[in-house]
Amino acid sequence: MSNSNSAAPKIHESWLNVLQPEFDKPYFSDLKNFLVEEKKVYPVYPPGPLIFNTFNQTPFNEVKVVILGQDPYHGPGQANGLCFSVSAGIKHPPSLVNIFKEMQKDLNVPYPKTGDLTGWAKQGVLLLNTTLTVREHSPASHQGKGWEEFTDSVIRSLSEHRNGVIFILWGRHAQNKKPLIDLTRHHILEAAHPSPFSANGFFGCRHFSRANYLLMQSGQTPINWVALG
């Protein structure tokens, strides 16, 4: 999943075992060809080595929580392969600002300095965009090219082969994935998207404390949401 001017993406071995059948399907070959041609003409985010960053940071058998996003950020230097996350030193985008405001109020903690959510990923929070790449300054430009089929298989695999995962679905796009999740085995938390356009329905969801309550109920270690970076 690389091209001549970027290093190969990294992906944890546990996910390779799960996702190899997808890599071998015709749609994925078409997707790779699309990305090769796209990168000849436009900047594409995140950088090639980070496309599968979420799968590299959070092994399959360690996933406790899934947060579903849509597209990667489409500005220079923003996307790092984890949904809603930006690398250290990058200004927090509006949706991330609202996520942090909710966390601040829910958990009574300070507003975070960094927008890098790698600390969540390393604790078992799979930060999954449903489309894993985007053309610079062009939101939704890589939708309908095959990524959705790929990420649907990710959700389906977690649903079928794991137990007690908490799926956090913010906004209609994420909530459309509910049919892929076995509710007899997993939990779903829903709210509006944290975008400024819908944040009034997001604030007050208390998903950080609610997710930790559910984890503790099932004997799992809660997420330290303030451990970022």
pLDDT of 4 > 70? The answer is no
Query: Looking at residue 117, what DSSP letter applies?
Result: -
* Tens-digit pLDDT profile for residues 134-184: 999 999 999 999 999 999 999 999 999 999 999 999 999 999 999 999 999
The catalytic residues are 71
pLDDT of 210 > 60? The answer is yes
pLDDT of 3 > 70? The answer is no
User: What pLDDT was estimated at residue 122?
Assistant: 97
User: What pLDDT was estimated at residue 7?
Assistant: 59
* Tens-digit pLDDT profile for residues 82-112: 999 999 899 999 999 999 999 999 999 999 9
Helix axes 13-23, 147-161, angle to 10 degrees: 130
Look over the chain and give the mean of its residue pLDDT values, rounded to a whole number: 94
At 9, is the pLDDT very low, low, confident or very high (cuts 50, 70, 90)?
confident
User: What pLDDT was estimated at residue 5?
Assistant: 39
Assign 3-state DSSP to the chain and report helix, strand, coil percentages, each to 5.
40, 10, 50
Residue 203 main-chain phi, psi, to 5 deg: -60, 135
pLDDT of 28 > 60? The answer is yes
User: What pLDDT was estimated at residue 134?
Assistant: 97
* Tens-digit pLDDT profile for residues 116-139: 999 999 999 999 999 999 999 999
- Reference 135, options 50, 71, 52, 43; nearest CA is 43
Average pLDDT over residues 18-29: 95
* Tens-digit pLDDT profile for residues 41-82: 999 999 999 999 999 999 999 999 999 999 999 999 999 999
User: What pLDDT was estimated at residue 40?
Assistant: 96
Answer whether 151's CB lies under 8 Å from 128's CB: yes
